[in-house]
Structure 1
Amino acid sequence: MLSIFRNNPKIVIAIFAIVTIAFVVTLVDKGGMSGFTGGGSGSSTGAIATIGDTSISADDLEQQVRNRFAQAQQQQPTLDMPTFLSGGTFEQLVDQSIGATAMEQYARQIGLAASDKQINGQIAGIPAFHGPDGKFSQQLYEGALQQQHLTDKSVRADIGGTILRQMIYLPVTGAQTLPDGLVKPYANLFMETRSGEIGFVPISATQGSVTPSAADLQGFYKSHIAVYTTPELRTLRYALLGREQVAAKAIPTDAEIKQVYDANPDKYAARETRDLSQVVLPDEAKAKAFKASVAGGKSFAEAAQAAGFSAADTGVGVKTQNQFAQQAGAAVAAAAFAAPQGGVTDPVKSDFGWVVVKVNAVSKIAATPYDTAKAQIAGDLVKTKQDKALSDLVAKVQDALDNGQGFADIVKANGLAIVESPAVSAAGQIPGQPAFKPAPDLLPLLQPGFKANPDDPASVQPITPDERYALLAVGHVTPSAPIPFAQVQDRVKADFVASRANDQAKAIATALQAKVKAGTSMAEAFAHAPVKLDAPKPTEGRRIDLARMQGNIPPPVAALFSTTLGSAQLVAAPGGQGWYVVHVGKVTPADDKALAPAIQEARNHFLPAANDEYLQQLSTAAKIAVGAKRDEGAIQGVRAKLLGATPAQ
């Protein structure tokens, strides 16, 4: 569960089952504080699957999917549920939820258990529940649970399940590696050199031969009427809910500032910190072998890599002894802070396995005087108080909506100001005003504003998570309508000419491609084209160079690596400018010296996928061991409900 916040790529199955607490923390961290209710066990809705002696209810599955959808929308605001569920996503989430539950049941079946101490440590380690003093705040924790209608018992059950799953899969994936024979062919694909030629057939070479008639233009206009239609326009009314609305309630007193200073000796008193790295191994023998390899001359990083750990897996960062004890346990922290700088501890048993720690650096930090720390503490307290006040305001507005109050009444009761947008399209544009740019606050409101029906009640929508929200209502709606032909005749003519020129350019490029495939050289084929064309340009490259372009790869260059040796491929130029003909004439494999680093890079690239495969196999085995039975009718019922028009309440 906590891997969501620690970016551990190994936790693949567990994160989908621990929806309850994960969603609470997502809401706290990202500011999605309105319009949601938490999932949980014991739902009244029938089960979609029975696993061992437990089950997953339809309500639980629906909430899990909606939570994942809400998280995805934070990254892609225009995403809708049908798009999110396309491509097998729904089936994958169902399988992962059942698999995660099966792994938990199997762990219990073989006698594993999660202690209260382990669960307490996981909860205390979630940054979202830390107060301004950097320590776990019971008040923040209970407030988050209350806001999401959750119980401490259900959250602890979810976290306990995650711990059990970790006990099962960490030994399986912890020391995973891949042999050279498996990754070398992929490494060679990255390092091989491809040579060829790229020719271009621009539409400008054929445009002069196109002269449309009046009938041509009318036909083109009618067949492309969607292009010549004014989009639906809406005015949106909204009232901002931001830090400026709660600032007056968030001024800390001197007593509060002093209290935070006195309560944080780890932050302000004189102290020692250590930059640490660690590996966690499943048994003492492997931990001792790891320590022996370091003592024998390997660096800690080399030994960790040989054991299947990346730098991200081993990095702990800079910690005080108290901080590290909360994370790893008192015994591990004591050993780490007893070792000298550069030293490596003997294996120490922890709740998750046997730990070996390396002390990378030791720092002595002088105390920070109160007068020096006061401004920073005050700033932190202001933010904390504003966070709380903003959360309360958003919750108050949401409660008013749930109780049936209207937009105007809520605005008046909370002293908010109404902003009304001009009539804009769903893309934030005003027809005939190309220079118009919507206000920054309006941009994130366009998607929900156009998704809502005109007579829907107002809703609370995020603008900037944790910072700004809006009480949003739809104003006036102007339906979409075709633009009269007379007003767009010149545009229709230009589009018609460009379309026909593109068709002719593609026909020429297709004929050239066929000649090259039949054995004609690129130079000869282009020299004898029916229109005057520039000679093809030679090109050369490696796949690894494309990876370094971070996705900004010209289409014809990408085609060089998807075309078979000796063949040619047709590629459309961006913006309808013409057509490329790409020919591959030579493929040169990399030599062994150049290939060596690529093999390791390929291994690192495929290790997460290999771990995923192991986890999927482990999940399947757990289902067989405990017994898992799906109710396909109930599952499809959840899918149908998710694809309906009614949002989760």
Structure 2
Amino acid sequence: MITTLRHLLVDSWAGRAAALLIFLAFIGWGVGDVYSNMGTSGSNAIMKVGDRSITPDDLSRGLNAQLPQVAQQMGLADASHLPQAAREQAARQVLQNLITQNEVQAAAARAGMDVPDDVVRQEIFAIPFFHNAAGQFDRSILNERLTRIGMTEANLIRMMREDIITRAVLQGMGQSVQIPTSLTERLLSFDARQRVLDVLFIPLPTAPLVTTPTDAQLHRFYDNHPWDFRTPEYRHAKMVLLTQDTVARSIEVPDDVLKRLYEAQERTYNVPETRTLQVITFADEARADSAAVTWRKGLPWTDLQKQYSDAASVSLPDARESDIPNPELAKAAFSAPLNQVTGPVKTSVGWVVFEITTIKAPHTTSFDAAKADMTAQVQKQEAPQAVQARMKQFQDAVAGSTTLDRIPADLGAAPVAGTMDAQGMTKDGMPAPIPGNEALRKAVVARVFSQNKGAQPSVVNGPDGSAFAIFVDDVQPGTLKPFESVRAQVVQKWTAEQNRRIANERTTTLFTAAKSTTLAKAVAGQPEEGGMRRNVTLSRIHPDQSLPEAVTRAAFGNAVGKTAMLETPEGYWLVNVTSEKAPDPKDIHQLTSQLQSQYLQSLQSDIPVALNAAFEKEVPPTHINMSLFNQVVAATGAQQ
């Protein structure tokens, strides 16, 4: 997912053009002017690049366009189901893309670059969104659609001019890349060269031992392996944890703030009927009619898209009637029946065939019903800053409380106490009730078992900006269990060790013989001869899935003619590299174009990234407003 986002600007320039058209078509979808009143006029920018500003609306538009793609890549039908972490990562990448665009524009301005008016005019005339049914540019359509999406002609011209400059700078650098054939050949040889092996696996014995251990043998094993037969050490500790979640619950949110947020998110809480539809558009009616007949016969949507790959197809999840930029399609879609292929329908952009897959009734959420959700939103947004703001008070409180009994409740720190072992388990075998994620739990438990009993507590920085303090007030050392109480366990472990010893000795005997000759000769005439696999051929691109990873590593790590002995939980392996073969010509042919394409894409993306890094050194981004960034991400996520 992140790789796809990172390459959004530089991997596919046809894709950039398509993205611009989608942006023009959907720029008005639910964005509105939600952010125009956030903060003062002087602070209504997430970041500045020179004299250029990245506004909340810029980020919101980019994020609204990107989240459906991210959801599709993650196998989700609805972008509103994206995890918070995925939305935040997408927002950071969109912001980086906006920085790149603005850095390029600033660099172009410094270099005196400009785009002739006729080039901009040709680009705009070529956008299908502004064409009539005959496929020709129509100024009346341009005027009507710009008005509908709230964009002026001057803004459109500015956007197109900047997009042309961005493509000229970044694409020009990317297209200058050439792939060194010597490196490609070395990579192909490395991945495709084949190793030939003789392999023998000697499992641990499964039959019961004929001999029964004596009491003396069992007592000796018990004495030599005391760690296997001890009760765990338990410690009782007092803990105080300061995390974003604990602090969030202590943040009070005034009703007037919630009411403003409710008004700003009116689109979220007052939802008209929405429909999910799949649409495919054709230039002529005959092909559209043919597609409709094929679709009605039960052809799946994905297969229909492949069969009519020359047509424009799109899925619109949970769309409102006002969301659909094509008025003819909007009217038809919101009068069509559910789960029935409809069309062809003539529209200003062509003949459309579509199917409504879901219909959701309109619903309104009152302020009182939404209050808890909005409070949680604000608390979560403010929690990271609140944790940092309260950290000094937390440190002072811990320093002034030798037993952690005097930590102010209004700090939002969570006090916890309990007894646990080194794995964080209670004596009942349940996880100790430590708040936070798994990483924080592990950090807390590790501190409990590394801190001395009665030691002065101090603040420890945890994962994700958290902090905690520990006071260990009781240690219950582990004790050796009486022999008779664990006799059956001693017998079991003694038997397992004897089985492993027997397998080890037999494998070592064969290994010693193989070192002076070959594995095949060492096992010739031996009971294990029938179990040896001969002439196993593998390469890095065609590994043998039946072999453990350790055997594969030995195949490529050992010299030809050498034998290796490997231990696994199930037994022992002997691996003899008998020869090395040149790559299979079929593999070379298959990999060459694939590797060259991947390498070229990598270089084409990395060079513009490096170029932009140089631009950022020249004009570093300034006036970074992370609070406003977080507000946009939260509101955009809520609008999906």
Q: Say yes or no: TM over 0.5.
A: no
Please identify the structure whose Cα radius of gyration is greater.
2
The TM-score with structure 1 as length reference comes to 0.43
